[in-house]
Amino acid sequence: MANLENEELEKLSKSSVALSAYEMGQLQDELHDWHVEMKGGVNQLFRNFTFDNFAGALEFTNKVGALAEEYNHHPEIVTGWGYVQVRWWSHVVSGLHTNDFIMAAKTEQL
Amino acid sequence: MANLENEELEKLSKSSVALSAYEMGQLQDELHDWHVEMKGGVNQLFRNFTFDNFAGALEFTNKVGALAEEYNHHPEIVTGWGYVQVRWWSHVVSGLHTNDFIMAAKTEQL
């Protein structure tokens, strides 16, 4: 899947299913700086971004927040002095969906 | 210590020391919604705030960020859909200082 960041998000429902380990691996090939982490039994797509100070970090948090609002898909964002950690996952599938990899790719473009 | 939120922050140095458990307990009496959590071997002062949506959460994150910049003391802020988690601690003492309780009290005023 080329240009993951340009793919359209799929509307999820209760019958949507999480990606298999194989599918996650395929999608992750395009996102070298992201890794899959299990947290509370739920697979999440995680990346740490570094910044020179707190203001730069908070500015990035707001950019990620605006992206999330635009696509109505929301990550967890950890903001600290010099870093921002972003975690994407899909609540309805209790894990990762292609949508999360698309959002991670869009996050990379910010 | 009445009106903790109006206290002035102390400038910390390498000789500054973390609060004792007794001192933390005394200060925490004023901050019922905050609790002390150890994370990575470091005591942190933690509170979860809830919101109706993502935008409200991000708005609060920005208020906490502005407070942090004003006092040049920075927390870790977790922003998600409907919640913001704030963690205060003092890097130089590898734990909690009175400054963190003052910042938590100021956070309550936002």
- Across residues B65-90, what is the average pLDDT? 98
Query: Across the interface, do B55 and A76 touch by the CB < 8 Å criterion?
Result: no
What is the spatial distance between Cα A18 and Cα A90, in angstroms, rounded to a whole number?
8
DSSP SS3 for B102: helix
Polymer length of chain B = 110
pLDDT score, position B43: 97
pLDDT score, position A55: 98
What is the ipTM metric for this complex?
0.95
End-to-end CA distance of chain A: 20
pTM summary value:
0.95
Query: Across the interface, do B54 and A61 touch by the CB < 8 Å criterion?
Result: no
Query: Across the interface, do B68 and A54 touch by the CB < 8 Å criterion?
Result: yes
Q: Per-residue DSSP letters for B11-62?
A: PP-TT--PPPHHHHHHHHTT-TT-EEEEETTEEEEEEEEE-SSHHHHHHHHH
Query: Across the interface, do B76 and A80 touch by the CB < 8 Å criterion?
Result: yes
Contact A74, A90 (CB under 8 A): no
How close, in Å, is residue B15 to chain A by CA atoms? Answer: 22
- Across residues B61-70, what is the average pLDDT? 98
- Chain A: residue whose CA lies nearest to B56: A65
- Chain A: residue whose CA lies nearest to B80: A76
Question: In this model, does residue A1 exceed pLDDT 60?
Answer: no
How close, in Å, is residue A74 to chain B by CA atoms? Answer: 6
Contact B100, B20 (CB under 8 A): no
Average confidence score pLDDT of chain B: 95
- Across residues A56-65, what is the average pLDDT? 98
Residue A3's pLDDT band (boundaries 50, 70, 90)?
confident
pLDDT score, position A2: 60
The residue among B93, B91, B58 whose CA lies nearest residue B77 is B58
DSSP state of B61: H
